[in-house]
Amino acid sequence: MEKLIGYLGTRVDEETETQFKACAEADGFNDSELLRQLIDAYLHERRAAFARLNSIFGGIEASGNQKREQPGSTPAQQSPAKQPRRNK
């Protein structure tokens, strides 16, 4: 099993905590195990959605700008903002 070193904490009302723990126990898990499974399922869903969008629209940078890759050039060479303007 992978070593678990990260920690996520959240606050919920008492009724939600009681119900969550009861549901986890009914499914044979402790609350941490169930929460990890829910997080994994959510991330899997988000990765699949991203892959579908990426297959349609191609690579998108975090800023939302579409990557314009040209063979044999680096991203810095492609970015108009990083190149000096030439007056004509």
What does 47-74 look like in DSSP terms, one character per residue? Answer: HHHHHHHHHHH--B-TTSPBP---TT--
pLDDT tens profile 39-56: 999 999 999 999 999 999
pLDDT at site 37 = 96
Phi, psi of 9 (to 5 degrees): -125, 145
Phi, psi of 32 (to 5 degrees): -65, -45
Is residue 78's pLDDT more than 50? no
